[in-house]
Structure 1
């Protein structure tokens, strides 16, 4: 039987420029029917916004995929509309500390989106150090290349 869970997510703009018309979507199913969607008018480079409540499931009967989506417009360099694929999945499991915020951010150096999850016991999953950066190297839990500009 699956267990319904929630976690707060903080979104960071590490793009290298201010961004506008940001849409975040979090879904625990491939169909995206049950999703948490948030819109942000603008966000300055280096700033964060949130927390945003994200629903997910763990255990038997859960889809075992957690989908993350971001879409935004940048007037800086690089400029234009950018987005990630609809099926960017990074799994939130029972080891995630729901009492702390997960991180979701965009980095302009490689035009990628990243996630970083807090682990039970105070650390972070997969070597993430808890600090989003524009070019994180291997300092993240999952990543995806962004499409654009359009």
Structure 2
């Protein structure tokens, strides 16, 4: 079959695979764990990006794909746990910047180690060849999604 000739069955298999993945992830992410999952993502985001200037709530909510009120609640929980601290921006006192505490950096590293362990287990399960193929397909899908975003941007510009 040529690249242009995509069967209805192939498309249905893709839909089924994505739905199964989404359903499995939803089953594994109970509401109480959503907080933990998002806390880990927030800590890793702050650890990767916040050296020096810190991050605003809007930047964190954008990175996590959550609303600003949700991000604020999440940050309040992290603050109560002593993992972050807030500081007013030196140039604009209306802006509050978020930083990791030493304990927050330590916890972010633990989250990263856990994530790396999960990927190691996935690679062991798939094997080297399938892991490489899977990574290539994910990159290709990301290229496709980014191309779609660029097409949408062009539509807006016109």
Of the two structures, which has the highest relative contact order with CA contacts closer than 8 Å and spacing of 6 or more?
1
Please classify the TM superposition score into its range, dividing by the shorter chain length: under 0.3
More helix by share: 2
Which of the two has greater strand per residue?
1
Please identify the structure whose Cα radius of gyration is greater. 2
